């Protein structure tokens, strides 16, 4: 096996710790020329499409890429920000803010972001961290709910990269945080802030990205984790079971996917006389094509055309302060045991622990 060339080893250099925030990815530009290679990489992942490779390759290159690249490019153009793709813009901001808050809490770590598909790629980012002396790597996927189609694919990319590395760093992987207290609180705060400013709809629809139903039947916990997130969020908002709905979006192909499907669900609500809905996408940590175009544009149109009066989209967590605090808490929990604290912070922590021990000893002495 041919290994990657190792950077020059320097004796006595203290190893560094890094956190890699990994999101799905995005094309570099809202053009067919940029969308096509992105779609090719994404849809070539066997974790994403579980169809025999030869059959799928013929479909992908003969039908999907020629027909879908231009259509997807136009959709990307409709949501493109001045700074670039929303998903990339918000992921970059999250990484910078996570770096800052970890630093405020006394951690000396480097925080970077990578994309599973597109740029900056995971191999590119992991190679750069290697040259910078990072020998402890925490991989933090931007997916709160675990799925083999998303989180496991990130793990695959990390393992495949390090299979070619001679001096492999310590590696930790965050599997999920769908029920994390801080994550649920950040979602709750985003809903309450929206209601305070815009009023409250008759139904709160929580739309998660869909996956084929067969993944659930084969043991993928994604469906259950989505419903747990929804239940915890509803409880934190004081909602009854009839006040909210869980649905799944972004179907692809003819196979059955997780149900109920988002667009038909909203159409049915409108036909049943529901005039106003609030729709959010808790499974996306950053706004992207699937939230800004599919939900806030396409599904909105479907609902209003079917007779609905008001469609309110509640943005993803993006760079909200509560979400950055939650992300920092999640990172801290998984960094536990690694020497990331600065000298001053370590001394402060040691002093606090010593004070706690002293008080406990005094209490025990008094009890005797």
Residues making up the binding site for Fe(2+): 209, 290
Closest Cα to residue 327, out of 336, 338, 319? Answer: 319
Q: Rounded CA gap, 228 and 33, in Å?
A: 40
C-beta separation of 312 from 277 below 8 A: yes
Q: What single string gives the DSSP state of each residue in 249-296?
A: E---SSS-BSSSBHHHHHHHHHHTT--EEEEE-TT-SS--IIIIIIII
**For the sheet containing 16-25, what is the strand order?**
110-117, 16-25, 134-141, 170-173
Q: What is the dihedral of CA 148, 154, 155, 157, to 10 degrees?
A: 120
Q: Tokens standing for 328?
A: 């920092």
H-assigned helices in the chain:
32-43, 53-59, 65-79, 86-104, 122-131, 151-162, 181-198, 213-217, 222-237, 262-271, 300-305, 321-335, 343-367
First CA to last CA distance, the chain: 66
The secondary structure of 181-224 as a DSSP string is: HHHHHHHHHHHHHHHHHH---SEEEEEEE--BHHHHHTT--HHH
**How far from 340 is each of 93, 103, 311, CA to CA, in Å?**
22, 10, 46
170-173 and 203-209 as β-strands: parallel, antiparallel, unpaired? Answer: unpaired
């Amino acid at each position: 096996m041919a290994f990657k060339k190792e950077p020059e080893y320097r004796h006595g250099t203290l190893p560094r710790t890094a956190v890699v925030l990994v999101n799905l990815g995005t094309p570099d530009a809202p053009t067919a020329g940029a969308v096509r290679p992105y779609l090719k990489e994404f849809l070539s992942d066997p974790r994403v499409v579980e169809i025999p490779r030869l059959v799928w390759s013929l479909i992908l290159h003969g039908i999907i890429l020629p027909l879908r690249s231009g259509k997807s490019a136009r959709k990307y153009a409709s949501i493109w920000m001045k700074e670039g793709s929303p998903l990339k813009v918000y992921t970059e901001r999250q990484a910078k803010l996570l770096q800052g808050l970890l630093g405020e809490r006394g951690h000396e770590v480097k925080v970077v972001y990578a994309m599973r598909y597109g740029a900056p790629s995971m191999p590119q980012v992991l190679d750069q961290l290697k040259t910078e002396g990072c020998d402890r790597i925490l991989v933090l996927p931007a997916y709160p709910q675990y799925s083999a189609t998303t989180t496991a694919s990130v793990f695959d990319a990390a393992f495949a990269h390090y299979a070619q590395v001679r001096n492999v760093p310590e590696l930790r992987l965050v599997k999920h945080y769908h029920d994390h207290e801080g994550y649920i609180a950040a979602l709750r705060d985003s809903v309450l802030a929206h209601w305070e400013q815009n009023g409250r709809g008759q139904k709160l629809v929580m739309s998660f990205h869909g996956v084929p139903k067969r993944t659930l039947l084969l043991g993928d916990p994604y469906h259950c984790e989505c419903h747990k997130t929804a239940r915890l969020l509803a409880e934190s908002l004081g909602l009854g079971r009839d006040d909210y709905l869980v649905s799944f979006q972004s179907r692809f192909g003819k196979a059955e996917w997780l149900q109920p499907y988002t667009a038909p669900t909203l159409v049915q609500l409108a036909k049943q006389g529901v005039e106003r809905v609030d729709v959010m996408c808790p499974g996306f940590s950053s706004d992207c094509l699937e939230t800004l175009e599919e939900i806030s544009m396409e599904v909105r149109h479907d609902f209003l055309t079917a007779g609905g009066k008001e469609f309110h989209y509640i943005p993803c967590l993006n760079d909200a302060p509560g979400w950055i605090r939650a992300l920092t808490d999640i990172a801290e929990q998984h960094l536990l045991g690694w020497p990331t604290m600065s000298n001053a912070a370590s001394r402060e922590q040691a002093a606090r622990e010593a004070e706690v021990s002293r008080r406990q000893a005094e209490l025990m002495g008094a009890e005797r």
